[in-house]
């Protein structure tokens, strides 16, 4: 394969379209969450991931797992947790079975904010996808995202 190989060009174009779609969606949701709830997309994602924890076996996430779930480095996730903890939206505590482990829970204020922000996030996502679907280069990607959503189990 050469750098001008049509297969590589097609892959690069596809990757560019995917990156464009992601950027548009994230920007649209970011503006909506900031305007209505003073939350970033990353903060919302972190609250959402942590709110799904439970007390059963394996129900609490270690920081590495949280970082993977919100697609950030461990250090960036720790900084994000600290910011939300400073706002009273999260709390940390030692793992009862392993004193080296630290878990993070969403506070009552955090759960309340998440529930208020969820409809904003969902509406902004829908708006961003609808807008992107009107762009021919992104329409098939929107269909793929919607197909994944349709196949996903309900919350």
CATH number at residue 27: 1.10.10.10
**Exposed, middle or buried by CB within 10 Å (0-12, 13-18, 19+), for 9?**
exposed
For 93, the token pair is 């505590």
Does residue 6 fall inside a structural domain? no
Domains in the chain, number: 1
- 5 domain residue, yes or no: no
Coil, strand or helix: which one is 63? Answer: helix
User: What residue spans of 1-152 are helical by DSSP H?
Assistant: 6-37, 41-51, 63-70, 74-86, 108-133, 136-151
Domain containing 57: what range?
11-151
3 state DSSP class of 57: coil
Cβ contacts of 56-63, under 8 Å, gap ≥ 24: 60/95, 60/103, 61/103, 61/104, 62/101, 62/103, 63/102, 63/104
pLDDT at position 112: 98
Is residue 144 in some structural domain?
Answer: yes
Say if 4 falls within a structural domain.
no
- pLDDT score recorded for residue 154: 63
Within a domain: 16: yes
pTM of full prediction above 0.75:
yes
User: Dihedral through CA 121, CA 146, CA 64, CA 106, nearest 10?
Assistant: 30
Q: Do the domain assignments include residue 139?
A: yes
| Sign of the CA dihedral running 125, 53, 153, 16 | positive
CB 91 within 8 A of CB 104: yes
Extract the residue ranges of the chain whose pLDDT is less than 70: 1-3, 149, 152-155
pLDDT at 141: 95
| Domain contains 89 | yes
Residue 56 has what pLDDT?
A: 77
């Amino acid at each position: 394969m050469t750098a001008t190989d049509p297969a590589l060009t097609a892959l690069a174009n596809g990757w560019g379209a995917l990156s464009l779609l992601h950027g548009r969606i994230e920007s649209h949701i970011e503006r909506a969450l900031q305007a209505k709830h003073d939350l970033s997309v990353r903060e919302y994602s972190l609250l959402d991931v942590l709110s799904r924890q439970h007390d059963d076996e394996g129900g609490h996430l270690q920081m590495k797992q949280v970082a993977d779930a919100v697609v950030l480095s461990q250090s960036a996730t720790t900084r994000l947790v600290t910011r939300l903890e400073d706002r009273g939206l999260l709390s940390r505590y030692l793992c009862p079975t392993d004193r080296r482990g630290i878990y993070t829970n969403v506070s009552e204020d955090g759960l309340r904010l998440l529930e208020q922000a969820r409809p904003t996030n969902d509406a902004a996502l829908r708006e961003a996808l609808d807008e992107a679907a009107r762009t021919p280069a992104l329409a098939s990607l929107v269909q793929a995202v919607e197909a994944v959503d349709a196949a996903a189990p309900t919350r």
